[in-house]
Amino acid sequence: MKKAVMKIECPFCRGKAIVSYFTKKIPNFGNVLFTTIQCKECKLKISDVMQLDVKEPKAFVAEIKNEEDLKTKVIRASSGTIKLKEFGIEIEPGPLADGFYTNVEGVLDRCEARLKAVLNSPISQAQYKNAKKIFQKIKAAKQGKVKFTIEILDPFGNSALIGKNVKERQLTKKEIAELKTDIIVFETKRKKK
């Protein structure tokens, strides 16, 4: 798992940026390439993950019922959509979407941090009340006190949930068409349909 670093021109400000990358074998998933682009000049930081083996458009779903289930692994590429429907949260893909490898608790941490920022921004009272409610529900969920489902869909097959309660299936053509795909694709080899 050697880390390699390469100097590049920042894709945003054309300053001096670096790309660092390494591959890691993730059990029950495959070889994954982790990349991070960082630019000191414009403070850009984008991370992403990419499956290097067989890729299929897939959806994964897991029911989280207790603290143990919170350890379910989550690989989220910038092309993956995460749905936490009981919280009304959807993490969508995009050119600046972050790719990460964490567990369900880590995803809740990210949502919590995001909500904290929302709560500290100028929003209406109704929005504040709603955000606060979700914030508290996430806190309880992190202690294993709330049952919920987590779903991840990725038309490029770079994202997954890994754990014993995980169910996986192929994405339907309709689902693939409905998913947001306004993302930058770095892949050179794309599977022909």
Site residues, Zn ion (CB under 5 A): 10, 12-13, 15, 39, 41-42, 44
Tell me the closest approach of the beta carbon of residue 40 to Zn ion, in angstroms: 8
For residue 47, the minimal CB distance to Zn ion (Å) is: 15
Q: Give the chain's largest Cα–Cα span.
A: 50
Query: Up-side HSE of residue 133: CA atoms within 13 Å toward CB?
Result: 10
**Rounded least distance, CB 38 to Zn ion, Å:** 9
Rounded CA separation 172/178 (Å):
10
Give whichever of 5 and 123 is closer to Zn ion, judged by the CB atom.
5
Residue with tokens 């897991």: 62
Cα–Cα distances in angstroms (integers) from residue 67 to residues 70, 103, 147, in the given order: 5, 12, 10
Tell me how far, at minimum, the Cβ of 91 lies from Zn ion, in Å: 24
> How far is residue 29's CA from residue 52's CA, in Å, rounded to a whole number?
10
Nearer CB in complex with Zn ion: 15/88: 15
13 or 140, CB closer to Zn ion? 13
CB of 22 to Zn ion, least distance (A): 22
Query: CA separation (Å) from 10 to 105, 170, 184, 187?
Result: 32, 36, 15, 19
Residue 130, number of CB atoms within 10 A of its CB: 14
41 or 187, CB closer to Zn ion?
41
Q: Which is nearer to Zn ion, 44 or 118 (CB)?
A: 44
Q: Which is nearer to Zn ion, 43 or 193 (CB)?
A: 43
DSSP 3-state of 95: coil
In the complex, the smallest distance separating the C-beta of residue 56 from Zn ion, rounded to whole angstroms, is 35
Query: CA-CA distances (angstroms) from residue 157 to 59, 77, 82, 90, 190?
Result: 9, 9, 13, 18, 11
